[in-house]
Chains A and B, each alone.
Chain A
Amino acid sequence: MPIRLGPLTIPWPGTGSRGDPYWESFLNRPVNDARNVAAEMIRRAPEGAINPIKADIHTPEITSSHIKELAYFVGAELVGIARVEPEQAGDGEALPFAIVCALPAQHDPRETPGVGGQVPTQNGLFATFVVAAYIRELGYRATAAADPNAERLAAAAGLGRLNADGRLVARKYGRRVHVAEVIRTDLPLAADGQAVPV
């Protein structure tokens, strides 16, 4: 894995592609059966029920810090919360908050279709699944789903800024960052940025 110091990239021995004849196909060989990919297993899993017994919760600021601590623990490197302008969900209830998680990605999963290329997606799905499930077990609504506005919400949540292509650029990881599924929830949270109309 090469070491990156700002703009410098220093090759470093270790895990990765050096002398590995199979690494290229690991990243780029298209998947024969999608059921073999863990990301697809999580994506296709049914969403759990909301716990009918609502848990006591803290102030929005403290709840936000707890949710972020959990998200960091399950693998997200950047976590932010954005408030979304009232948008009507399926049954008419508003889900005012979006929790956005981002992970460093050596390769853009949109350009590497192989099993290895999908690793950031899979780690992102894992983190967002656990956080959304945690909120549902607390008794609040939460849905983790792929969002076409994910990068815009990430920028609004303060994870970075958008470049000219509309891609997220994070301070620590630059463009090598993967924005995971967006968790929409009605758990009372404190937003990091301003409200975003969606």
Chain B
Amino acid sequence: MAATLEKLTETVTGNDGAPPSRTASRTEGTFAAAPNLGRSVHVVGPVENVDPNQGPHPKNSRGELGKALFNYYRNSTSKDPLSRVGAGTHSADRRNVVSEALNRAPKGDINPDRVPVPDPEAMTRHIKAVGHYFGADIIGVARAHPSMMFAGARYSDDGTTAEGASEPESPEELASKYPYLIIASTAWDYDKLQAHRHHVGDASYHMSQMYTNMIMKSLEGYIRELGYTALRGTANPQATALAAGLGELGRNGLVISEKYGARVHMPNTIMTDLPLVAGKPIDIGVSDFCNICRKCAVTCPTNSISFGDKVVFNGVEKYKINWKTCYGLRPFVTDHWGSCLTCVTVCPFTKPNVWWRSLAVKALHTTPFSARPLLVRALKAIDDRFWGVVRQKRVRWMGYDTGIKPGETACTVAGCTASHEHAGNTAATVSNIGFYAPLKENTNRFVKRDAV
């Protein structure tokens, strides 16, 4: 595969004033071999650990992405009450968001009465059963590797003290001290996700994200109750999910899971010294599919998804999206939706978890590599024929209706007596399909598509 070498940009290396990163040489020792992340992602060169403070949200909260995004993120209250309980940045009062309550809760102590673990396999089965009992749809365990870790001095020794309590540890030290990473997630509601680019789709995403947050907090607390350390936010969740075998990385830059496709959000990982057995990466044919399909790239309203091949970025060969254009759309559409989710919805892997979906994934898994392009073309043709190039389904829930053109408000509830004077005339509905804006043809005039 032709891989183009892209220069490191500010996404990874940080600002000029940033302290030198703590990338030690990993050419010898336990971590000499690159981690196995499956067929979709290959670690090919030295990886510089990314500072989580250089991610889109932290950058934005410091005002580094411009006024429009900053005001959208910090100074706006969503017009939609469901979004106001789903995201702390858009609520009238942040305390009305469960995730905020959970994130601000003080951490508990590690139980001094440690539970012995003679059989790590039994403990792994137990942790997975516990995760499912808490409500997780997928859960996996990966072996920590320094190249999967974040940089930064935010780690603490026992997970109970704030930063600065002790000398920060390097990714190598942490990965040998706390060798296992646990990641769990819940799938977004499929039917509500069909209302992508709409507040209903946001609700699907936000509620699942908040519930996942609670599951991860519970797991973290349970590991402390077992008498072991649990650190949060030390490793890249996507790399962890790939190494744990939860899925493969798609063209849309999302982990495409075996059972649910791209409709899973990867939360902050748990890093622990609890003896476990790490999972193995899986092969569900995402790599072969993304080579051919490009549905997400075609439908992305901001052309942020590449049509080209994988690139090597920061020592990792993968599909890379342009996060700046993806993120930059938000302030302009905030009245109509919060999170676009179109690349999730159109992905052929994102389907209800039913027998024909399992059959297709199983077929992809068992077909030899050389024959896969043929199968992929057939499956994509079926997908386009039966599910549409863009999924446009009218979703009606809690008084929301995606049949109403965005920007117009109409009360769609029979017998409603609320005053809607501000909305002007009643909007007309458009047949039985969902209505999503801005449409691709509108944005194509403003956003330059990269070379095919």
Q: Which residues from chain A sit less than 8 Å from chain B, CB to CB?
A: 15-16, 20-23, 25-26, 29, 31-38, 40-42, 44-49, 51-53, 55-59, 61-62, 66, 69-70, 73-75, 115-116, 119, 122-123, 126, 129-130, 133-134, 136-138
Task: A42 to B133: give the CA distance in the assembly, Å.
Answer: 19
A to B CB contacts below 8 Å, 18 in the list: A20-B126, A32-B108, A32-B112, A32-B225, A35-B221, A45-B95, A48-B93, A55-B81, A56-B420, A58-B399, A62-B416, A73-B189, A75-B135, A126-B98, A129-B98, A134-B82, A137-B84, A137-B93
Which residues of B are found within 8 Å of A58, using beta-carbon distances? 399, 411, 413, 415-418
Query: Given that A42-B102, A115-B225, A134-B81 are known contacts, is A16 also in contact with B129, CB under 8 Å in the complex?
Result: yes
B367 to chain A, nearest CB (A): 29
In the complex the two chains form, is A26's CB within 8 Å of B101's CB? no
In the complex the two chains form, is A62's CB within 8 Å of B413's CB? yes
Which residues of A are found within 8 Å of B379, using beta-carbon distances? none
Task: A45 to B214: give the CA distance in the assembly, Å.
Answer: 13
Task: A133 to B417: give the CA distance in the assembly, Å.
Answer: 24
In the complex the two chains form, is B418's CB within 8 Å of A35's CB? no
Task: A119 to B66: give the CA distance in the assembly, Å.
Answer: 43
In the complex the two chains form, is A41's CB within 8 Å of B419's CB? no
B235 to chain A, nearest CB (A): 21
In the complex the two chains form, is A115's CB within 8 Å of B84's CB? no
Task: A121 to B265: give the CA distance in the assembly, Å.
Answer: 24
A109 to chain B, nearest CB (A): 13
Which residues of B are found within 8 Å of A40, using beta-carbon distances? 105
At the interface with chain A, which of B203-211, B240-248, B319-327? B203-211
Query: Given that A55-B81, A74-B207 are known contacts, is A48 also in contact with B94, CB under 8 Å in the complex?
Result: yes
Of B94, B225, B411, which is in contact with the most chain A CB atoms at under 10 Å from its CB?
B225
B210 to chain A, nearest CB (A): 7
Which residues of B are found within 8 Å of A66, using beta-carbon distances? 398-399
Which residues of B are found within 8 Å of A36, using beta-carbon distances? 108-109, 220-222, 224-225
Query: Given that A16-B129, A137-B91 are known contacts, is A57 also in contact with B418, CB under 8 Å in the complex?
Result: yes
In the complex the two chains form, is A41's CB within 8 Å of B93's CB? no
In the complex the two chains form, is A32's CB within 8 Å of B113's CB? yes
Task: A66 to B417: give the CA distance in the assembly, Å.
Answer: 15
B376 at the interface (CB under 8 A from A): no
Which residues of B are found within 8 Å of A61, using beta-carbon distances? 415
Task: A44 to B132: give the CA distance in the assembly, Å.
Answer: 25
B151 at the interface (CB under 8 A from A): no
Query: Given that A22-B126, A48-B93 are known contacts, is A59 also in contact with B417, CB under 8 Å in the complex?
Result: yes
A69 to chain B, nearest CB (A): 5
B164 at the interface (CB under 8 A from A): no
Report, as a range, how many residues of chain B touch the other chain.
Answer: 35 or more
In the complex the two chains form, is A20's CB within 8 Å of B129's CB? yes
Pick from A22, A115, A122: contact of B123, CB below 8 A.
A22
Q: Residue of A at shortest CB range from B420?
A: A56
Q: Residue of A at shortest CB range from B414?
A: A62
Pick from B105, B132, B415: contact of A15, CB below 8 A.
B132
State the majority secondary structure of interface residues on B: helix
In the complex the two chains form, is B218's CB within 8 Å of A56's CB? no
Query: Given that A58-B418, A116-B133 are known contacts, is A133 also in contact with B85, CB under 8 Å in the complex?
Result: yes
Task: A144 to B76: give the CA distance in the assembly, Å.
Answer: 27
Which residues of B are found within 8 Å of A129, using beta-carbon distances? 98, 101
In the complex the two chains form, is A45's CB within 8 Å of B104's CB? yes
In the complex the two chains form, is A69's CB within 8 Å of B418's CB? no
Query: Given that A31-B225, A59-B416, A62-B415 are known contacts, is A44 also in contact with B105, CB under 8 Å in the complex?
Result: yes
Which residues of A are found within 8 Å of B214, using beta-carbon distances? 38, 42, 122, 126
B410 to chain A, nearest CB (A): 13
B97 at the interface (CB under 8 A from A): yes
Query: Given that A15-B129, A20-B129, A62-B415 are known contacts, is A48 also in contact with B102, CB under 8 Å in the complex?
Result: no
B92 at the interface (CB under 8 A from A): yes
Task: A15 to B104: give the CA distance in the assembly, Å.
Answer: 31
In the complex the two chains form, is A123's CB within 8 Å of B98's CB? no
Task: A69 to B207: give the CA distance in the assembly, Å.
Answer: 13
Which residues of B are found within 8 Å of A62, using beta-carbon distances? 399, 413, 415-416
Pick from B105, B115, B135, B211: contact of A35, CB below 8 A.
B105
Task: A138 to B93: give the CA distance in the assembly, Å.
Answer: 11
Which residues of A are found within 8 Å of B218, using beta-carbon distances? 37-38, 115, 119, 122
In the complex the two chains form, is B101's CB within 8 Å of A45's CB? yes
Which residues of B are found within 8 Å of A69, using beta-carbon distances? 397-398
Which residues of A are found within 8 Å of B419, using beta-carbon distances? 56
Q: Mark B210-229, 1 if CB is under 8 A from A, else 0.
A: 11001001101110110000
In the complex the two chains form, is A15's CB within 8 Å of B203's CB? no
Of B85, B134, B218, B398, which is in contact with the most chain A CB atoms at under 10 Å from its CB?
B85
B311 at the interface (CB under 8 A from A): no
**Seed contacts A41-B105, A73-B189; 14 additional CB < 8 Å A-B pairs:** A15-B129, A31-B225, A32-B111, A32-B113, A35-B107, A37-B218, A38-B221, A46-B95, A49-B93, A51-B93, A61-B415, A115-B218, A133-B97, A137-B84
